[in-house]
Structure 1
Amino acid sequence: MPMTPRSFPARLPICLALAAALATALPMTAAAGAPAESTADQDAHRTVDLGSVEVRATPLPGTAEDLTRPVEVLAGEKLDEAKANSLGETVGKLPGVQSSYFGPGVGRPIVRGFDGARVQVLSDGLGSGDVSTVSVDHAVTIEPFLANQIEVLKGPATLLYGSGAIGGAVNVVDGRIPEQATTTPLEGRAELRAGTVNNERTGMLRLDGTSASGKLAFHFDALHRETGDYDIPGFAESAEHLAEEGETPDPSEAGVLPNSALRTDSGALGLSWIGERGFVGVGYSLFNTRYGVPGHAHEEHDHGGPIDDADEEEAGVTIVMDQRRSELRGGLSDVGPFASARFKFAATDYTHTEFEGREVGTVFDNSSREARLELVHRPWGGWNGAFGLQWSDRDFVAIGDEAFVPATQGSDTGLFWIGERDLGPLKLELGARHDRLDVRATPEALAPQRRNDRKFEAQSLSASLRWNLNEAMHLSFGIDRAQRAPTAEELFSNGLHVATGRIEVGDDALAVETANRAEIGLHWHSDRIELGVSAYTVRYDDFIYLASLESRRTPGTVLTDGGSEVNLWTQNDARFNGMEAEATLHLADNDSGAWDLRVFGDIVRGKLDGTGSRDVALRVFHGDHTHSHDARLAGNGNLPRIAPARIGGELRWAAGPWRASLGAVRYLRQDDVAANEHESPGYTLVDAHLAWHRDGDGGNAFEVFVDGSNLLDEEARAHTSFLRDLAPLPGRGFAFGVRTFF
């Protein structure tokens, strides 16, 4: 049933729970006393050595420091400082990682230039169950504020997670189903924050506890967020776009981005039985959000407040999204020939409705189920390893104006093995995976004479090596052969994609794409310096991409139909080359405090590697009408919306209960653009963080913080965004609030 604008969970219970948590936690912290604990004790509460954090995205135990393949981890105070409204923005300052952008409610991670269906987003090892890969204006249904840690696997992760992870994976660990007893009967954290750039109000509460017997453990979390339209340095439309349209902006329209407000509610309950050899647990969660789509709003808008029903006539296009998820997880040690066994299952029901004012435009429904079994075997011939079996299916339906993808069903079954072995100073990892995929579309929804059922097989092979030259330095090498099957959108799309303003035409004859990757990395550390550098190249055979076309009838012009640009899903060889570097210099640790300087940079180039242009004939299908077109397709050149090169730096300081940082990231001009794509100017984003932390008795703690973003109030337009010329990033803003840990 389509959601209505009023179908949000009541906010009062969540707000009361947050207030109660803070009310009970604050007195415990204040009563703690009088003398403050030592600096070491205070820092230990929130400071996390990210290199020593265990990575849960792989079945073999390992930390970010000793894994053979590249991975980044956010946890502790670093995660607290990075948390944002979207997952992409939260991880967007890690080396090699940026964010797509379709307003503040939408941001998927871009890993080494890959995004969409090539980057798998996971909730503790299982797919998110949303439709964020179908369209660039669809949000990821994972709330980063509730995460314990976020892991980014760079390079193909198909070995572990199948076809949709050929460009990498982002795993959000939230602990919603407890796997072990807590150290105290009840513990948790809460946060209240407010923001100036968008009138943000966010509250979050998390509780974890264990019964007196130690056998039953529970989890509860809740979050509520409201923001208004956010402030921008100038006009929503870029100067280049205004000049092309011949428009003169109204000065009264400057300073705010219309239709950029959002509201989010998220919550979960989990319960587990904990035994001596393992656990079994169940969980239920919801994610409900409503956000405006910038660039499609009317001139009138609400300047500072959250979305209200009274503003519907001026709200433009608004997306209301609701997801309900049930999970079962279990783990058992010492299972015959296996050291451990883990099982995960999730059933997800997802609906989102796109409103144009008060009118329903399009309704998307997606029901998915996914199961995963991991068996870690005992050492065989010196090899530690794990077998895995993964299965998933989904039923997808879109009804309405933006139903450019027909109703589809899909299934995927994958079997894999991953193993590692120490050979003196060398650590070797090998792996293999085989997937069988089936994608089916409703025949009556397709253009005549199109195939509606495709079956694929995909194989992935991987080898990586870590060479410990000495205690301070190691080299890493990796080679992969990974395959990805085309998605339903790439095969069967045929119609106007309202979010991008383009007609997308799929190709039901697309084949599996194959990526061959090679990477070399160096890590060196001493008492004063930590340094990491990596370089990689990826050669794609039959790379699937959305191509701009030239009309053969009027050479030199972009192919259009009914005034909308026509794009074709097609294949060609492609090559990606990139490099990343990060260094941390420990400047001083004395009476003035601990001073660290971090610098990083990354660059990636994506180009087609074909032999030249070719002619194509295609049909655009609109209901009962079919329009035929003759077009020309370029066979080489740059790929569109490739993330620009960056260089950044950050100075961090900590002394006693205080910590602070000041950082800047320079996004360079992107002039390596595709056909019919404009260049993007560079920009610099400056941010700062300040926090005061106080530890109390019994593990209680209290923290007050202030975060500043885009302190130069610079006009910044992400080259990776379809809304680059319509929606700049937010201007100068400050967020402030309080966190408690108990």
Structure 2
Amino acid sequence: MPANTLPRRLPLSIALAIALSTPLAANAQEMEAAADAAEREHAHDPVDLQAVKVRATPLAGTAEDLIRPVEVLAGEKLDEAKSHSLGETVSKLPGVQSTYFGPGVGRPIVRGLDGARVQVLNDGLGTGDVSTVSADHAVTIEPFLANQIEVLKGPATLLYGSGAIGGAVNVIDGRIPEAPTAAPLEGRAELRYGSVNDEKTGMVRLDGTAEGGNLVFHFDALHRETNDYRIPGHAESEHAHEDDHDDDHDDHDDHDEERGAHGTLPGSAIRTDAASLGMSWVGERGFIGASYSMFNSRYGVPGHAHDDDHGHDDDDDDDHDDHEEEGPVRIVMDQRRTEVRGGLDDLGPFASMRVKLAHNEYTHTEYEGDEVGTVFDNDSTEARLELVHQPLLGWDGAVGLQWSKRNFNAVGEEAFVPGTTGRDTGLFWIGQREFDALRIELGARHDRNRIDVDAADAIGPDRDFDTTSLSAAMRWNINPDFHLSFGLDRAQRAPTAEELYSNGFHVATGSVELGDPNLDVETANRAEIGLHWHAGPLELAASIYHTRFDDFIYQADTGIDDGGPVRVWSQDDARFNGAEVEANWNFADNDSGYWDLRVFGDVVRGKLTGSGTREVDISVPHGDHTHDYTVELARGGNLPRIAPSRIGSELRWALGAWRASLGAVRYAKQDDVAEHEEPTPGYTLVDAHLAWHFDTAAGGAWEVFVNGSNLLDEEARVHTSPLKDLAPLPGRGVAFGVRAFF
């Protein structure tokens, strides 16, 4: 079990010694740009998100310039969007939604794809957590400490490998400074309180430059505590209750009492602590720096108590561990991360070089009451080299090498995934060239992936995979205000260890999860057309896309209940079709203030394209024996847990020191469901924000804010969540607090 304090063996001192010994890093132009950006932040001007430099790609560009679809959150809009989880923070961007496993867990869903298909990055390197293992595992990134969040929509495998076949979310936190700060010391702090869950959050960030301008440091810290959150009705949905109780109930009050918790959702409290310290030595041509960070989160699993032998028949009691009621399930997650980064410019044939290295020590412990159920350990190391070459035959481009190793182990009576060691090596090139009104982008990547299973736990052989991804994109600037973009991708993904080797009951999800060690590489072929039009105060962006998956890997519900619903990892061809649209209209700028109206919508459908059924033999483990079944899986029909279509709007206003917004998002009923999956009713979420900002004589600033969420107090259940019938979203809430900038 990890301690809640920093370990005695602190590698930061070693990393800092390395950083101080070699004067490399950002060139003068980048230093000047960074200083200008810091000055703008210090002046608290609104951030033009289209003009923000995107760091997820080695070829410098803004969200407006890049051919590939990308969304950026920064400045005031990031402050308003920040939530307990990364997924919830980005969930109002077109084409992006969030998973939900209680307020402590929310992973981004990009165009209907999530989990092992969407890579979550900390400034270009993987987070090193196990959030892809299961829906109850959180991402080890604290959105409140982010400077900027970038969402790459569509395959990002060229840059980040197999785990980004559906997209990537890159979080910039500045923990390793790459340029001097604009002032000797600057930073920000925030205190807030939330009514729906008695939230108390405090954070502080400090950045500074020592005299002489070469030594730059960073420090941040956050603490959050919440109680169980309030809900507008019962925790259990009416549908789930009817399924559990087939008998008629004449007494409506008795019927309601049997639906369990009302008004508050048990098991939804959170406690989170995060902190980091980083330092860099910055020279005229480059930088080298290091950081050490910790992330610790404790959260409940709503709606789950481990009881009644998981529903097994009495004659199986001897074959199980007699799991009597032991109380609710809760999780303690702890990660320690060490990073070293360096950069050097003007290297002859190369314009720049960036080197990144991160090591993560991660532990995730599932408690059943006061007893430890399962402990997941994940030690990972990742290294990345990016070289931006000088123009070659008219092409600007970058070549990169990425390497990672992951040692995963699960210990406990209900460890449903065996221990594995995974290795991945990838080599890529990406380039672009201008042809008058056309810009072309090409890229290629090849990865070699190997997964070794611990012999004692093996349910299948070790596996090796080779994946190759190719991409071509074009942007046609018809005129300065209107352009079209086209994209074609062939992306491949290797199966994960969880998809291959899962084999048992997972207490947090309350289900039996069975992998398939014979899964093959998954291949996605995508085509996309997009447009962007900007005419005066009106801006419009839209895109449509089609992705054909060969051997798509998905988790199918078998319809069998053997101590919990039995779900198997399976593979078949699939198709995804979707569209996104967003319009912004600055319809007034006068004595009444600056008025802006935003409207957006998105839709995605995911379907298996086969016909008929196929038989699959499965074995559910029970101690020293198994229960064997033959099930029929449909080869066609809807895929499970596909995000519903949405339409939303937001009205923004600013005048002097004041700014405000009012927004609403309508989530449609999701009735395009898979076999053994139930439809989810639609709902509307209304939110509002109000802030008053004032500058101080000393050059700093204060900001007082009030945020309202789910103002209609509507019962909302997330279709993509395995807990949708047990854990609705929070009810009406108001959060207020103060921010300081200095």
1:291 has 2:292 as partner: no
Instruction: Look up the equivalent residue of 1:476 and give its one-letter code.
Output: S
Give the aligned partner of residue 37 of structure 1: none
Alpha-carbon shift at residue 350 of structure 1 (Å): 0.3
Please tell me whether residue 446 in structure 1 is matched to residue 454 in structure 2.
no
Mapped partners of 2:372, 2:621: distance in 1: 23
The corresponding residue for 1:604 is: 604
Matched, 1:516 2:516: no
Counterpart residue number, 1:729: 729
2:443 equivalent in structure 1: 431
- Equivalent residue for 2:255, pick from 235, 248, 251: 248
Between the aligned partners of 1:61 and 1:402, the Cα distance in structure 2 is: 47
Partner of 2:192: 193
Give the drift of 1:332: 0.2
Within the candidate set 383, 393, 404, 2:405 is matched to 393
In the alignment, what sits opposite 2:740? 740
Q: List gaps (5 residues or longer) in structure 2.
A: 8-38, 246-253, 308-324
Q: Is the 8 A contact 2:188 2:741 kept in 1?
A: yes
Q: Could you say which residue in structure 2 is the equivalent of 1:540?
A: 549
CA RMSD of aligned residues (A): 1.8
How many angstroms apart in 2 are the aligned matches of 1:383 and 1:42? 34
Q: Shift in Å at residue 696 of structure 1? A: 2.7
- Pairs within 5 Å for 1:226-237: 226-237=225-236
Which of 444, 455, 460 is matched with 2:469 structurally?
460
Which residue in the other structure is 1:278 paired with? Answer: 286
- Distance change >3 Å, CA 44–CA 66, structure 1 → 2: farther
Q: 1:321 is matched with which residue?
A: 333
Partners in 2 of 1:187 and 1:582 — Cα distance?
A: 35
Contact persistence 1:42–1:695 (CA under 8 A): no
**1:70 and 1:155 in contact (8 A); partners too:** yes
Structure 2 counterpart of 1:590: 590
Distance 1:540 1:114 in 2: 12
- Aligned partner of residue 79 in structure 2, secondary structure: helix
Check whether the contact 2:305–2:368 (CA below 8 A) recurs between aligned residues: no
* 1:46–1:77 CA contact under 8 A, matched in 2: no
Give the CA deviation at 1:416: 0.1
Q: Say if 1:270 and 1:283, in contact at 8 Å, map to a contact too.
A: yes
- The SS at the match of 2:405 is strand
Q: CA deviation at 1:220?
A: 0.2
Are 2:475 and 1:501 equivalent residues in the alignment?
no
Distance 2:656 2:616 in 1: 67
Q: Distance in 1 between matches of 2:70 and 2:642?
A: 21
Out of 352, 368, 376, which is 2:380 matched to?
368
Secondary structure in structure 1 of the residue aligned to 2:539: strand
1:155-174 → structure 2 map (5 Å cutoff): 155-174=154-173
Say whether the 8 Å CA contact 2:234–2:260 is kept in structure 1.
Answer: no
User: Any residues of structure 2 matched to 1:262-277 within 5 Å, and which?
Assistant: 262-277=270-285
Seq. identity, %: 69
User: Which residue among 420, 434, 447 is the counterpart of 1:408?
Assistant: 420
Relative to structure 1, is the Cα distance of residues 615 and 206 closer, same or farther in structure 2, using a 3 angstrom cutoff? Answer: same
Map of 2:207 onto structure 1: 208
Deviation at 1:570, TM superposition (A): 1.3
Contact 1:3 1:352 (8 Å CA) reproduced: no
Give deviations 1:589-626, integer Å, cap 9, x for gaps. 00000011100000000000113211122223344213
**Alpha carbons of structure 1 residues 735 and 298: separation in structure 2 relative to 1, 3 Å:** farther
| Kept in 2: contact 1:539–1:575 (CA 8 A) | yes
Letter in 1 for 2:458: L
Q: What is the rounded CA distance, in whole Å, between the counterparts of 1:236 and 1:201 in structure 2?
A: 24
Equivalent pair of 1:595/1:654 in contact (CA under 8 Å): yes
- Quick one: structure 1 residues 296 and 431, their matched pair in 2 at CA, closer, same or farther if it must change by over 3 Å? same
| Separation of aligned partners in 1, 2:283 and 2:537 | 44
Matched, 1:690 2:697: no
| Preserved CA contact (<8 Å) 1:199 1:227 | yes
Counterpart contact for 1:88–1:108, Cα < 8 Å:
yes
Q: How far apart are the structure 1 equivalents of 2:632 and 2:306?
A: 36
CA contact (8 A) 1:9 1:265 kept: no
Secondary structure of the 1:88 match is helix
For 2:502, give the aligned amino acid: S
Q: Secondary structure at the match of 2:233?
A: coil
Measure the CA separation in 1 of the matches of 2:736 and 2:57.
Answer: 36
* Preserved CA contact (<8 Å) 2:306 2:507: no
Change (3 A) 1:732 1:422: same
- 2:628 maps to amino acid: S
Between the aligned partners of 2:352 and 2:697, the Cα distance in structure 1 is 37
Shift of 1:698: 5.3
Given the alignment of the two structures, is residue 715 of structure 1 paired with residue 712 of structure 2, yes or no? Answer: no
CA drift of 1:440 comes to 1.1
User: Partner of 1:293: helix, strand, or coil?
Assistant: strand
> How far has the Cα of 1:148 moved from its partner?
0.3
Match of 1:70 in 2: 69
Residue type of the partner of 1:240?
H
CA distance in 2, matches of 1:493, 1:542: 19
SS of alignment partner, residue 230 of structure 2: coil
**Which digits, 9 at most, give the CA deviation of each residue in 1:239-272, with x for residues without a partner?**
1111111282329931100010000000000010
Partner of 1:472: 481
Contact 1:332–1:342 at 8 Å: present in 2 too? yes
**CA offsets 1:701-723 (integer angstroms, 9 cap, x no match):** 11000000000000000001000
Look up the match of 1:617: 617
- Look up the equivalent residue of 2:365 and give its one-letter code: T
Counterpart position of 1:136: 135
2:340 equivalent to 1:333:
no
The CA distance in 1 between the partners of 2:41 and 2:572, in whole Å, is 55
Shift of 1:585: 0.9
What is the letter of the counterpart of residue 63 of structure 1?
T
| TM-score (norm: length of structure 1) | 0.90
Structure-2 change in CA distance of 1:253 and 1:542 (3 Å): closer
**Separation in 2, partners of 1:691, 1:153:** 30
AA matched with 1:139: A
8 Å contact kept, 1:709–1:734: yes
What is the correspondence of 1:22-101 to structure 2 with a 5 Å cutoff? 45-101=44-100
Q: In structure 1, what is the equivalent of residue 180 of structure 2?
A: 181
**Structure-2 change in CA distance of 1:58 and 1:275 (3 Å):** same
* Structure 1 position 43, deviation (Å): 11
Whole-Å separation in 1 of the counterparts to 2:611 and 2:413: 38
| Structure 1 stretches lacking a partner, 5+ long | 11-39, 300-312, 550-557
Which residue does 2:267 correspond to in 1? Answer: 259
- 2:561 maps to which residue? 560
The answer to whether the 8 Å contact 1:3/1:353 transfers is no
Per-residue deviation, residues 331-369 of structure 1 (Å, max 9, x unmatched): 000112100000000000001211111111111100000
Deviations 1:143-184 (A, max 9, x none): 000000000000000000000000000000000000000111
CA–CA distance in 2 between the matches of 1:514 and 1:698? 57
- Please list the CA deviations of residues 410-443 of structure 1 after superposition, one character each: whole Å capped at 9, or x if unmatched: 0000000000001000111000000000011112
Distance 1:169 1:661 in 2: 28
Q: State the partner residue of 1:421.
A: 433
Equivalent residue number for residue 577 of structure 2: 577
1:649 maps to 2:649: yes
Structure 1 residue aligned with 2:22: none
The reply to whether residue 669 of structure 1 matches residue 669 of structure 2 is yes
1:327 deviates by: 0.4
Provide closer, same or farther for how the CA distance between residues 297 and 622 of structure 1 changes in structure 2, counting only shifts above 3 A.
closer
1:41 CA displacement: 9.0
The C-alpha deviation readout for 1:432-465, integer Å capped at 9, x for no partner, is 0000000111122134xx32x1000000000111
Shift in Å at residue 469 of structure 1? 0.5
Does the 8 Å contact 2:366/2:508 carry over to 1?
no
**Contact kept in structure 2, 1:206 and 1:219, CA below 8 Å:** yes
Q: For this pair of structures, how many residues does the alignment match?
A: 685
Who is 1:27 aligned against? none
